[in-house]
Structure 1
Amino acid sequence: MGKQRIMQGDCIDLLARLPTGSIDVVVTSPPYNIGVAYNSYDDRRPRLDYLAWLTQIARELARVLTASGSFFLNVGGTSCDPWIAMDVASAFRDIFVLQNHIAWVKSVSIGEDTVGHFKPITSRRYLNNNHEAVFHFTRTGDVEVDRLAIGVPYKDKSNITRWKHGTDRRCAGNTWFIPYKTVKSRAQKFDHPAGFPVELPERCIKLHGITDATVLDPFLGAGASLVAAEKLGCKGIGFEIDPVYAEAAVARLKAHVADEDR
């Protein structure tokens, strides 16, 4: 399927098959341990067991990542468990350097208007949770990235000359507004309960800035990361433990490749 390869199985077993230093960019979103109803995974493990499991995976990711590679980890949480994302990041502290902490904003209200989508809650204690974390880990903390690849034009054009920039493009910062498209059925989510928009891994890959990068997603789900890799002309590898989700990812990727060939 284009430049992409999907492998069905446990990511720990499959990671062991990858050569050391063979991956340029990892973009993934593991189970959050918040009780999502996956087909083949218990999403309510004891917290310490869950973190130890992710740390084991992180060690393998550090092995397969190039010295100048980037590891983008998307982790969300719930209003009643806001620490989970930070606990995960802290578990990786001895393995990776946290180079950038990005807030993925899924919905934002400006004045009386709201743009984007979120899962509403009914509560007298908590606000709706409209954002998730994207942790950009590297092995050294000094990996150069292509900030302008995901940059935006200057609002005030006088800043171009004032700040001696040669182009109408500036860094967009570490707050990324990437809303979900409205879905009305499970099929529109590719039969997966917790996917992310293709635009999220696409932005991560662009930020890393390497043409023809080799991209890995060890928790592939419905395949968004490999669709993003294919769109950008990168090679991609995806691991998915559940055969139903793996088949959905294959079908999604085939549909994307077919659309591109038209």
Structure 2
Amino acid sequence: METTHRVHVGDARDLPLADDSVALVVTSPPYPMIEMWDDVFAALDPEIGDALEANDGDRAHDRMLSVLDDAWAEVARVLEPGGIAVVNVGDATRTLDRFRVYDNHARITTAFEALGFDPLPGVLWRKPANSAAKFMGSGMVPPNAYVTLEREHLLVFRNGERREFDPGAQRRYEAAYFWEERNRWFSDVWDDLNGERQTLSDPDLRERSGAFPLELPYRLVNMYSVYGDTVLDPFWGTGTTSLAAAVAGRSSAGVEHDPALASAFDDRIEDAPALSRDLAAERLAAHREYVRGSGDDFEYDAEHYETPVRTSQERRIRFYEVAAVEETDGGWQLTHDPFEG
């Protein structure tokens, strides 16, 4: 199996992709009203900078969301019918004239609905708190303290009706997940994600990109796509979504406005062979541990690995490891071999 991976330096509001050319979008845009993204938004729309200087939070928030709306319209164009879009976004708290919360997740959901997407049940990603101080505002006395935001949203949208596959489609059933993975992954609260598996050569890049941990897009890629699909991240950052797609046996495309961030992927993609083997081995080992600890009799056996499975849909599950990484004029081409386990 071969996959291709391309990153374009450009603007998420003008994707260099054909209509209906991707099966899954996994992205985390700049969060409106989070200060680290002010300059990015102001460069795209000078009125945002004017509103912030005037302490007009409502107007700044509306203009920031309008910038993202143009990107979501492009997502609607390139996402195939039945394709899934997952948007990781957090709400923001900020004082401009007065303190308030800015509801990014609700406004983005409204934007996708206006484009004809169907919202699906999403996930609350509970992130580790950065500080032992759990309060904002007046501390230990009522009534002027504020709840600390320790979660972000994974908003899930489908572009029309469900995707259709030929009965028994091999690539779909090989891409199955284990029964216990399904129960954990499709929970509406995630609090079990690990941190980054690797560091970037430039420590400033992760901070500038706001990168999420690899396990987040890796999980989503396995949940909402099949082998050979193309996964898009229009706010690419340092390419964590593309790396997740690569080790999961999917092709990828990304758009990033900062050339320095885009170039960081040159080193990251070289880790794909070892990373793909590690992830496959971990998933298989975790499943075998689950089988040993369940105390149940399993009716089915996996065809490619020496382990029982709980359902018939898991029988053909198969992992792939990256065997070779080749840089091309347009990006990277990866060869994937079956993981023997």
What residue number does 2:258 align with? 242
Distance 1:98 1:42, change over 3 A: same
* TM-score (normalised: structure 2): 0.60
1:132 aligns with 2:152: yes
2:244 partner letter:
A
1:208 aligned to which of 191, 207, 224:
224
Whole-Å separation in 2 of the counterparts to 1:192 and 1:69? 29
Distance 1:63 1:42, change over 3 A: closer
Whole-Å separation in 2 of the counterparts to 1:188 and 1:241? 16
What residue number does 2:32 align with? 33
1:97 aligned to which of 100, 109, 118:
118
Whole-Å separation in 2 of the counterparts to 1:128 and 1:150? 35
What residue number does 2:77 align with? 63
Larger Rg computed on CA atoms: 2
Whole-Å separation in 2 of the counterparts to 1:227 and 1:33? 26
Whole-Å separation in 1 of the counterparts to 2:24 and 2:208? 23
Conserved? CA contact 2:105–2:155, under 8 Å: no
Conserved? CA contact 1:217–1:239, under 8 Å: yes
**Cα deviation 1:43-99 (Å, max 9, x = unaligned):** 794122222222221121111111121101111123442512212212222111101
* % same residue: 26
What residue number does 1:228 align with? 244
Residue 5 of structure 1: how far off its partner (Å):
1.0
2:129 partner letter:
F
Whole-Å separation in 2 of the counterparts to 1:255 and 1:74? 25
* TM-score (normalised: structure 1): 0.76
1:18 partner letter:
L
Q: Give the 3-state SS of the residue equivalent to 1:192 in structure 2.
A: helix
Conserved? CA contact 1:39–1:242, under 8 Å: no
1:75 aligns with 2:64: no
Conserved? CA contact 2:226–2:250, under 8 Å: no
Distance 1:222 1:38, change over 3 A: farther
Whole-Å separation in 2 of the counterparts to 1:132 and 1:225? 17
Conserved? CA contact 2:217–2:240, under 8 Å: yes
Conserved? CA contact 1:28–1:218, under 8 Å: yes
1:119 aligned to which of 109, 123, 130:
130
What residue number does 1:12 align with? 13
Whole-Å separation in 2 of the counterparts to 1:41 and 1:229? 26
Q: Which has the higher helix share?
A: 2
When structure 1 is superposed on structure 2, of 212-221 and 239-248 the one drifting more is: 239-248
Conserved? CA contact 2:23–2:225, under 8 Å: no
Conserved? CA contact 2:231–2:251, under 8 Å: yes
Whole-Å separation in 2 of the counterparts to 1:227 and 1:217? 11
Distance 1:184 1:208, change over 3 A: closer
Whole-Å separation in 1 of the counterparts to 2:266 and 2:207? 12
Residue 179 of structure 1: how far off its partner (Å):
3.5
Residue 225 of structure 1: how far off its partner (Å):
0.2
Q: Give the 3-state SS of the residue equivalent to 1:90 in structure 2.
A: helix
Conserved? CA contact 1:22–1:64, under 8 Å: yes
Counting matched residue pairs gives: 235
Residue 180 of structure 1: how far off its partner (Å):
4.8
Whole-Å separation in 1 of the counterparts to 2:244 and 2:178? 14
Conserved? CA contact 2:25–2:86, under 8 Å: yes
Conserved? CA contact 2:24–2:225, under 8 Å: no
